[in-house]
A and B are shown apart, each in its own frame.
Chain A
């Protein structure tokens, strides 16, 4: 990302015509960059707030202990959407089931940390700071990661926000030793108008050396950063689009807006989205169904949207939660706080597999909770090294120790969006209109993976043909429309990092 010095734009003319910086930033400009942030990849983290019940998300369909301990809440093997002999998705997760079969999803069992804390608040803090259970950190793991690339943020900051989060005030996850890298977004257009109309450039008295002065610096910084970033956020959101409809839920809104900003070219690498309501102590059944259904629909819509726009290759989605829940239900047809739980990962560059296995329900900790199989920092460390392609040392610096990667991400590669090369072309389909087959000819400038998609006019993906590596030069694809209904479709060729589209009409 390009950087700019905020401090310059923050100059204001004083009464005497001299230039004084708006903020008493006074931060040492550390020389040199310790991180090469070459990747244009994006990770979207979704917090399932309240502690998601892992056992009712990925069902242990062979485990009698599970069925005996949950007389009212257990999901039967028949209802579960089978993954293998031992695992099944909750019935609300039908799209995830398809995504898993379509090799766009990985599942990591038993994610948590040792000596688990059953408090929401403390456990959330451990996750966002990336600390040990008995360690109290004042900065977030994302803050420490970004700080290595931008050691003098915010006095020297990139053009686009480093991280974006929604509807939340989770400051700690994004906190660096001196600042906060997370921008809060609710509605970019409103935000832009509000901020622009209400920002006063240039108060220049240094703040007092008291707690009051410290807080003034904090507010000035948020005020200034909001002002500086509101424009690019608004521009990218306005310039981007959604190709399909999302669920009309808070989560759906956050995901749609994220897709919109990515589509509009926002280069922010990290997004944090929240879905609330997972603290299901009472009458868990329906609540949990609805939450998972919303999650299922929102994530699948998001992926479809980005896939349609040829952007999904650079995005990965990861769910997290402060803990799982107890394996047995309580007397209020709910479940109490637990420990380890599965993490779900979505994307086009994953190793589509289960990592770890269904937790043992016979070997438990002293509080009758599950043992962990993966430290959550292994998950985060994998994102840093295998997704963003950063050096292992970076991850080690973030966590103060080395965590072994979980191999759920394919070999890291940098996916830069490039303009469509002149010699990547598609000829008009022939015949068109057609019934039942038509021939599509296209030319590749070099060898590469080719995917052809059939979309409806609202941009929804109807069919995907993953053709594998094709040779440079002219190629042909024969589309058989026997299983399609009459109508007009968009046929899309996705190759060498670019997309080509045309309309075709099937007349039966």
Chain B
């Protein structure tokens, strides 16, 4: 071994801590003890979903503004990667390459192509309500438990959709709408209602926002979630009316308390049993005594307009307000571009949305083709949400068919603060900086490492990781560099949002080679060769770098 290698090793290991540090690079870490500890801990202390909401901004960095001229976008591999990073769970090297080759417009087209509905997660999605009254306590508990299991099955099903997505935005868009119209299973209670809502996201997610809003508003999940059900004239419940305007349409301070009261009066008399509602989408009216007795048919003044408004009328008046399109675009922007919103660009997006009568697709197309979106300042500026970080990494490592332990996905979502179907509250996941704290950052690293080691806090699994195939798929004899160099560069390219620096490339290279020369590393060596253990070391090292969290 040469001296330079020793000093580099010391560099990586931070000097005095080198021994333990090397132990931890061993793929056998996390140890069983630690995994046990975490498991015990989860049993003891179920994660709370109470996440505080805050607004925050950053210093303004000047980004290119607005121009929608394609010629000015420098379409290269980096640009293709950025586009797919924002629209997929996690693009593989091949997907980035394919998109680059087919061009920006063609990629955006295929991203925004509407997909048919996937097979449902189980036949339970169409199941009727149980006749609760005729059941014993034991039978009721059994059903409640089965609902709980179904939700976990549903979570896994969704993760599988994400891991197996094509170059198409549907899964990300569906996740976005779930965040936008954040609804929690723990209150809604019926898995069927949650599935119904998800179908609406899938069907209308790239369609018309007006229909989407109506479908969600009068769907069973939202009627339960924000207490529309059972709200009666004379003493209406304000919960839905307020969040409808504050979060779903207009934004805080763009309506008055009188508007909240008027809207809450209009949203009376709508009920659901968890599956059916008393709302008729054809007539836009309710039915049954709930409607005749509970709905407030009297005059209301809402945004200065007086009439016998129903819930539909309120939605229509809201949709006439200029602020509505802006609020939608602001939330789209925060998810797809960056948390620090550029208001002048929001106005442009909102113009596109309004002039297309709230059709979502043209607005998304405008966004994804804009020079603003492609400004290099935004590259690597997104802190990956834990769900897509996991599903994306699994996808990039070709582990989609891995036998993950039961409830692996719900558990890892929960541990990193993003349990699907349990948003912290109606405003969805705060995201951005809130993903990263002293609790979640080590959890993110350990859960990612488990993909390599097969030992997770949520149960162990024999990992099917095939590094030989992965390396072969990354190596291209027409590209520069030895296979070892290409593997390092290309993995860093797909896993890191920011460019790989020279020092870090050297560091990763050193771990991979472990003293060997670059040309000694051979992608065709059999899977039992210890060379592949060094590659595992390197992958775990990558997962632990702050750079990995950004895409």
Interface residues of A, Cβ cutoff 8 Å to B: 12-17, 47, 49, 117-122, 124-125, 128, 136, 138, 167-173, 175, 183-187, 189-191, 193-195, 197-205, 207-216, 218-220, 222-223, 225-226, 229-230, 250, 253, 274-276, 279, 281-282, 328-332, 334, 336-337, 366-367
Q: Are A128 and B437 in contact (CB under 8 A)?
A: no
Partner pick for B549 among A185, A207, A219, A276, CB 8 A cutoff? A219
Q: Are A332 and B230 in contact (CB under 8 A)?
A: yes
Residues of chain B contacted by A167 (CB below 8 angstroms): 47-48, 50
Most chain A CB within a 10 A radius of its CB, from B37, B38, B236, B381:
B381
Q: Are B61 and A210 in contact (CB under 8 A)?
A: yes
| Contact A128-B544, Cβ < 8 Å, known A211-B61, A216-B498, A331-B231 | no
Q: Are A184 and B7 in contact (CB under 8 A)?
A: no
Q: Which of B91-99, B122-130, B238-246, B390-398 contacts A (4 or more CB under 8 A)?
A: B238-246
- Asked whether any CB of chain A lies closer than 8 Å to the CB of B425, the reply is yes
- Asked whether any CB of chain A lies closer than 8 Å to the CB of B526, the reply is no
Q: A194-B443, A210-B380, A331-B233 are in contact. List 5 more A-B contacts (CB 8 A).
A: A15-B503, A194-B34, A197-B34, A205-B503, A276-B49
Q: Are A121 and B53 in contact (CB under 8 A)?
A: yes
B261 nearest CB neighbor, chain A only = A367
Q: Are A331 and B441 in contact (CB under 8 A)?
A: no
| Contact A210-B381, Cβ < 8 Å, known A203-B545, A216-B498, A367-B257 | yes
| Contact A186-B439, Cβ < 8 Å, known A13-B15, A193-B37, A200-B544 | yes
**Complex Cα gap A332–B228 (Å):** 9
Mask, B226-259, CB within 8 Å of A = 1, is 0100111111111100100010000011000110
Count the B residues whose beta carbon is within 8 Å of the partner chain — how many?
95
A274 nearest CB neighbor, chain B only = B50
The total of interchain contacts (Cβ-Cβ below 8 angstroms) comes to 257
For chain B, residues 1 to 40, give those with C-beta under 8 angstroms from any C-beta of chain A: 4, 7-8, 10-15, 17, 21, 24, 29-30, 34, 37-38
Residues of chain A contacted by B232 (CB below 8 angstroms): 331-332
Residues of chain B contacted by A250 (CB below 8 angstroms): 45-46, 48, 50
Partner pick for A216 among B34, B235, B380, B427, CB 8 A cutoff? B380
| Contact A184-B438, Cβ < 8 Å, known A121-B246, A219-B383 | yes
Residues of chain A contacted by B515 (CB below 8 angstroms): none
Most chain A CB within a 10 A radius of its CB, from B53, B56, B417:
B53
Q: Are B252 and A122 in contact (CB under 8 A)?
A: yes
- Asked whether any CB of chain A lies closer than 8 Å to the CB of B198, the reply is no
Q: Are B238 and A281 in contact (CB under 8 A)?
A: yes
Q: Are B50 and A276 in contact (CB under 8 A)?
A: yes
Q: Are A13 and B4 in contact (CB under 8 A)?
A: no
11 contacts between A and B (CB under 8 A): A136-B55, A184-B440, A197-B34, A197-B442, A211-B338, A212-B381, A214-B61, A222-B436, A225-B438, A274-B48, A331-B231
**Complex Cα gap A16–B61 (Å):** 34
Q: Are A197 and B24 in contact (CB under 8 A)?
A: yes
B25 nearest CB neighbor, chain A only = A200
Q: Are A118 and B34 in contact (CB under 8 A)?
A: no
- Asked whether any CB of chain A lies closer than 8 Å to the CB of B497, the reply is yes
B55 nearest CB neighbor, chain A only = A125
Q: Are B52 and A15 in contact (CB under 8 A)?
A: no
Q: Are B442 and A226 in contact (CB under 8 A)?
A: yes
Mask, B507-551, CB within 8 Å of A = 1, is 000000000000000000000000000000000010011110110
- Asked whether any CB of chain A lies closer than 8 Å to the CB of B166, the reply is no
- Asked whether any CB of chain A lies closer than 8 Å to the CB of B168, the reply is no
